[in-house]
Amino acid sequence: MPGARRRMRGEPEVMVHPSDAERAEVSEGDPVELSNRLAAVRLDTPASRRGDFTAILREVRWELDAMGHAKVRIFVSGGLTEASIRDLNRYADAYGVGTAVSNAPVIDFSLDVVEVEGAPRAKRGKLTGRKHLWRCPKCGNRGIAPAAARLGNCPACGERVRDLLHPLLRAGRRAGPYPSAREVRDHARREIAAAPDPFAETP
């Protein structure tokens, strides 16, 4: 699957690889695709797929060089940190960094289509279909399971896990009564008391 090519205003040209590209398939692209005006290849890969990212970059560099495109640079983005840049420096020429330089702890997430009209459908690297999002009330362990699966006991401590997802609206109408302000406050207090210290050193 050749990457979609995006022409910036005027020049240069940058070839963008889709984020689900497991392998950078530069070598399989139409040779015409890699014109002499191509300035860079951009790889945007979520942090969850970072395992062999250095190997992917090495492969892209290799193929570009082998095709006589030594001047084409490699631009990398997606969940980068100071540490990962150190590893990628050998092959990458430029970086797009967002989350790591924001000034507060962040919850990094993305939204993906995983089901269409009840049929599981997702891009490569994503788990298809609706899911349970569960949490163990005893040890705080969390996880996901297919919506069709029955939730059981926590694999860590054996306590029965709870489903965290509850419908609030059905066909545009409230699915049930909302909790009272007191219930919300009591719940928040319990959760805060049980939460880990946000200032603790992360391992």
**Cβ of residue 6: shortest distance to Zn ion, in angstroms?**
46
In this complex, which beta carbon is closest to Zn ion, that of residue 53 or of residue 134?
Answer: 134
DSSP 168: S
**Residue 96 or residue 158: which is nearer to Zn ion going by CB?**
158
Please name which of 53, 47, 40 lies closest in space to residue 14, comparing C-alpha atoms: 40
Residue 7 one-letter amino acid: R
Shortest Cβ 92–Zn ion spacing (Å): 40
Q: Please, which residue, 46 or 140, has the CB nearer to Zn ion?
A: 140
- Please state the closest distance from residue 193 (CB atom) to Zn ion, in A: 17
> Which residues lie near Zn ion (CB under 5 A)?
136, 138-139, 141, 154, 156-157, 159
Nearer to Zn ion, 151 or 184 (CB): 151
How crowded is the C-beta side of 23, counted as CA atoms within 13 Å?
Answer: 9
Least distance from Zn ion to the Cβ atom of residue 149, Å = 17
Structure tokens belonging to residue 13:
């040209």
In the bound complex, what is the minimum distance in angstroms from residue 155's beta carbon to Zn ion? 8
Residue 7 or 190 with smaller CB distance to Zn ion: 190
CA distance 113 to 202: 32
Pairing of strands 38-44, 73-77: parallel
Nearer to Zn ion, 146 or 158 (CB): 158
Q: What is the DSSP string of 9-46?
A: SSS-EEEEEPTT-SS--GGGS-GGGS-TTEEEEEEE--
CB 144 to Zn ion: min, Å: 15
* Preceding peptide of 179 cis, ω within 30°: no
- The Cα–Cα gap between 148 and 16 comes to 37
